[in-house]
């Protein structure tokens, strides 16, 4: 109050100081604050300025009481604003400081009067360099605005903006100095936060004015392919984005903030470094430094686009072969049918013969490689004249447009030729053939479901006629597709209807013909179709999942029968039961084996489980299961050994007792130019791995002699006995006891 009172002793000094304060406030706000946000404050300050000026002009005619009232009003203004004024009269070396400095600095007013340098002592050391420039310029009579940080008594750091206004005499000496001080902490922190958000943003953020770049962040540079933002300032935006894109989102012309909504567009842009990328760009009008401009936000969506392509590929293409899948095929077929008039088209349903044997014995890795090679051959055979698709498993559908029956026949023959050529995988040759069923539009159907169904039916006819051939659909084939459906339905009731039975094939010691084991083989006597080949119903059981309950029935029946034979005085020998991979995947598989042994009271050593090498596809789980079975006392053998010998490096670590040489290799002993070289190799491998070796499919004495000469001591096959019913197996065993078996 005393300070203000002293100032009022001279009205012209008061007028001068007040004009300096208000003018400085006006300049400070314009210099440091966003003009749009603080326009209202600007107007308020101008009103205060005019009010003070005209009030002081009338001061001469005011009474003392009126002066006191105005004095109080002026003090209220200073106390309301977060502003301090420092006035230093150099001639008299006197200070006039408004009380607002206590609010800004947190120190009492007396601290500044007692020590004129106190205000410098609380400045953050890192900002002291600002004062050097400030003192140098004010000494020359320049008005200087400085920004620095101070430390308040409570340790809080605040930003200060200090506008210094020196007054010089004619000789260039400073006669007085005025500082207008205000706290800009909120502004600086807000600015820092905004700048951090913009600079750290992974998206492009830019400001465009008059078609040129006024500002761009680092991420924007990276997106465009430039290294430094400063290199892009002032560059025309057309240099980086296509004109049609800029026109679509109205980026070329500023709209002065009126009537234009935010627009977003996706497009591909060529970067400065020559690469291309997908961008999602948004633009909206803003005011930038008081001018109409456009703010642009852009994102690199290349990864998203790749993901979308991946999703589309997964939805419409087969991941293994990269051929169109069933959904793409049906979509394409429906599209063609909707546009077709009188043109003929053909649907070829192709199924690989013997693929399942290779897949089960060699494993899924070889099976997958084989499917990939077959897929390429099918495309080569079609030669762009149609669409080749994979339906799943080893089934393919080929769609041929605008074709005659002669053309379809030519392509079908070529497909058979391509499939039958040997396929080399990991330096081993594999042989597959194909069965093809063909339906023609419009003779065999006018919709996609009917055409595919009839082609599928014709394919089964091709299999019935020896495979490796093609068949056209005819209405007479309806019964063939009905057979498959009836077999599937019948299979679900076969156990309940007592249609299933087990035949037993003897396993003998080759040198003596002595019975050493038996293999349980499942047979199905259908009430209408008669005896169904296992080659037909076992794949169907695996496809439908019925192999699990069927397998349990076989296991229980075989164990029960073996125990009954032992109780009747027949030789105590193991019974071998085939186990599919599907059964081993059952969580209760080991428990089910234990339950059967407990129920039938069969000693575990007289149960042998025959598994295929395809178990290596899940080697960790398979190893655990096999070890648990060995702990129980069950014997383990590998069936069809040799077709999967490439996995020996894994099999040698499995708890296996016996390996069985596949019949196809035993046939080579007398029917192949290598004269059993493969069989000899397999026997040597088995012996080296400490496995017992048994050969299956023995039909000739020459095979027996070769096997004995090469240290294979066990075998089975029609040379000794075909699979036998229970009654006939008992006759065989009785002959063995009396020494009548053998050749």
Give Cβ neighbours of residue 51 (< 8 Å, ≥ 6 apart): none
Mean per-residue pLDDT, 720-739: 89
- Of 114-123, 249-258, 556-565, the range with the highest mean pLDDT is 556-565
Average the pLDDT over each of 65-74, 221-230, 321-330, 646-655 and give the range with the smallest value. 65-74
Query: Do 23 and 53 form a contact (C-beta atoms < 8 A)?
Result: no
Between these two residues, 229 and 95, which has the higher pLDDT value?
Answer: 95
Q: Whole-angstrom Cα distance, residue 454 to residue 397?
A: 12
- The pLDDT score that the predictor gives to residue 406 is 92
Closest Cα partner for 610 from 573, 646, 661, 563?
Answer: 661
pLDDT of 658 above 80: yes
Calculate the CA dihedral of residues 561, 565, 571, 573 and round it to 10 degrees: 10
Report pLDDT digits (tens) over 256-284: 444 445 667 777 777 776 677 878 777 77
DSSP 152-168: -TTS-EEEEEEEEEEEE
pLDDT band, very low/low/confident/very high, at 129 (cuts 50, 70, 90): confident
Residue in the block written with tokens 């997964």: 314
- The pLDDT score that the predictor gives to residue 618 is 67
- The pLDDT score that the predictor gives to residue 238 is 75
CA angle 713/711/513 to nearest 5° reads 25
pLDDT band, very low/low/confident/very high, at 35 (cuts 50, 70, 90): very low
**Dihedral sign for Cα atoms in the order 668, 674, 680, 686:** negative
- The pLDDT score that the predictor gives to residue 720 is 94
- Look over the chain and give the mean of its residue pLDDT values, rounded to a whole number: 81
Per-residue three-class SS string for 70-102: HHHHHHHHHHHCCEEEEEEECCCCEEEECCHHH
Average the pLDDT over each of 53-57, 188-192, 240-244 and give the range with the smallest value. 53-57
Mean per-residue pLDDT, 173-195: 79
Mean per-residue pLDDT, 310-316: 82
Between these two residues, 33 and 343, which has the higher pLDDT value?
Answer: 343
Average the pLDDT over each of 7-11, 289-293, 415-419 and give the range with the smallest value. 7-11
Query: Do 277 and 300 form a contact (C-beta atoms < 8 A)?
Result: yes
Calculate the CA dihedral of residues 354, 357, 358, 360 and round it to 10 degrees: 150
Q: Whole-angstrom Cα distance, residue 140 to residue 163?
A: 15
Mean per-residue pLDDT, 114-118: 88
- The pLDDT score that the predictor gives to residue 699 is 93
Report pLDDT digits (tens) over 136-156: 898 888 999 988 998 999 988
Report pLDDT digits (tens) over 403-440: 899 999 999 999 999 998 999 998 888 888 999 999 99
- The pLDDT score that the predictor gives to residue 582 is 79
DSSP 467-497: SS-EEE--GGGHHHHHHHHHHHHHHHHTTTT
515-526 and 575-578 as β-strands: parallel, antiparallel, unpaired?
Answer: parallel
Express as a percent the part of the chain with pLDDT over 90.
33
Report pLDDT digits (tens) over 503-515: 999 999 999 999 9
């Amino acid at each position: 109050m005393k300070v203000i009172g002293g100032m009022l002793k001279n009205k012209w000094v008061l007028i001068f100081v007040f004009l300096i304060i208000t003018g400085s406030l006006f300049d400070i706000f314009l210099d440091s604050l966003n003009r749009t946000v603080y326009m209202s404050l600007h107007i308020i300050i101008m009103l205060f300025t005019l009010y003070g000026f005209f009030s002081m002009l009338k001061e001469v005619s005011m009474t003392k009481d009126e002066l006191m009232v105005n004095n109080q009003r002026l003090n209220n203004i200073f106390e309301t604003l977060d502003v301090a004024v420092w006035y230093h009269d150099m001639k008299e070396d006197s200070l006039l400081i408004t009380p607002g400095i206590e609010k800004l600095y947190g120190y009492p007013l007396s601290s500044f009067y007692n020590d004129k340098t106190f205000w410098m002592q609380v400045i953050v050391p890192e900002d002291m360099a600002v004062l050097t420039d400030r003192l140098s310029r004010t000494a020359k009579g320049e008005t200087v605005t400085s920004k620095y940080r101070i430390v308040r008594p409570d340790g809080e750091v605040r930003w200060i903006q200090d506008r210094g206004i020196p007054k010089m005499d004619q000789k260039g000496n400073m006669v007085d100095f005025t500082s207008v001080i205000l706290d800009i902490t909120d502004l600086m922190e807000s600015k820092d936060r905004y700048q951090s958000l913009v600079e750290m943003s992974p998206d492009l953020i830019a400001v465009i004015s008059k078609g040129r770049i006024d500002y761009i962040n680092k991420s924007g540079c990276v997106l465009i392919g430039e290294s430094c933002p400063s290199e892009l300032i002032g560059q025309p935006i057309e240099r980086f984005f296509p004109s049609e894109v800029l026109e679509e989102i109205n980026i070329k012309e500023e709209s002065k903030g009126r009537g234009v909504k935010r627009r977003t567009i996706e497009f591909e842009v060529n970067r400065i470094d020559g690469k291309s990328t997908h961008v999602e760009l948004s633009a909206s009008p803003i005011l930038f430094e008081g001018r109409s401009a456009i703010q642009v936000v852009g994102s690199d969506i290349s990864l998203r686009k790749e993901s979308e392509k991946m999703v589309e590929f997964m939805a419409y293409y087969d991941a293994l072969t990269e051929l169109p899948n069933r959904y793409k095929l049906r979509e394409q077929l429906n599209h063609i049918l909707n546009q077709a008039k009188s043109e003929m088209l053909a649907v070829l349903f192709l199924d690989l013969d013997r693929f399942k044997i290779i897949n089960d014995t060699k494993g899924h890795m070889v099976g997958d490689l084989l499917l990939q090679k077959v897929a390429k051959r099918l495309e080569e055979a079609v030669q762009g004249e149609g669409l080749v698709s994979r339906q799943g498993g080893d089934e393919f559908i080929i769609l041929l447009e605008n074709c005659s029956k002669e053309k379809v026949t030519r392509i079908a023959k070529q497909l058979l030729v391509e499939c039958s050529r040997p396929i080399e995988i990991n330096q081993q040759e594999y042989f597959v053939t194909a069965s093809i069923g063909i339906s023609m539009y419009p003779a065999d159907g006018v919709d996609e479901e009917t055409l595919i169904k009839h082609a599928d039916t014709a394919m089964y006819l091709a299999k019935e006629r020896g495979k490796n051939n093609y068949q056209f659909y005819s209405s007479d084939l309806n019964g063939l597709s009905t057979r498959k459906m009836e077999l599937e339905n019948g299979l679900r009731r076969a156990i309940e209807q007592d249609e299933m039975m087990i035949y037993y094939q003897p396993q003998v010691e080759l040198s003596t013909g002595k019975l050493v084991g038996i293999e349980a083989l499942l047979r199905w006597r259908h009430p209408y179709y008669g005896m169904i080949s296992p080659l037909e119903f076992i794949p169907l059981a695996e496809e439908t999942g019925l192999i699990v309950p069927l397998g349990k029935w076989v296991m229980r029946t075989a164990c029960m029968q073996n125990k009954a034979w032992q109780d009747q005085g027949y030789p105590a020998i193991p019974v071998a039961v085939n186990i599919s991979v599907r059964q081993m995947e059952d969580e209760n598989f080991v428990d089910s084996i234990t339950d059967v042994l407990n129920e039938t009271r069969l000693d575990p050593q007289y149960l042998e489980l025959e598994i295929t090498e395809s178990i290596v596809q899940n080697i960790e789980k398979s190893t655990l299961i096999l070890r648990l079975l060995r702990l129980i006392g069950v014997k383990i053998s590998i069936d069809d050994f040799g077709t999967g010998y490439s996995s020996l490096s894994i099999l040698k670590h499995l708890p296996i007792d016996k390996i069985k040489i596949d019949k196809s290799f035993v046939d080579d002993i007398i029917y192949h130019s290598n004269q059993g070289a493969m069989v000899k190799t397999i026997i040597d491998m088995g012996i080296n791995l400490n496995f017992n070796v048994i050969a299956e499919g023995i039909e000739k004495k020459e095979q027996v002699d070769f096997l004995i000469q090469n240290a294979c001591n066990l075998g089975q096959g029609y040379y000794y006995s075909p699979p036998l019913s229970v009654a006939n197996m008992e006759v065989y065993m009785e002959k063995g006891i009396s020494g009548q078996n053998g050749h």
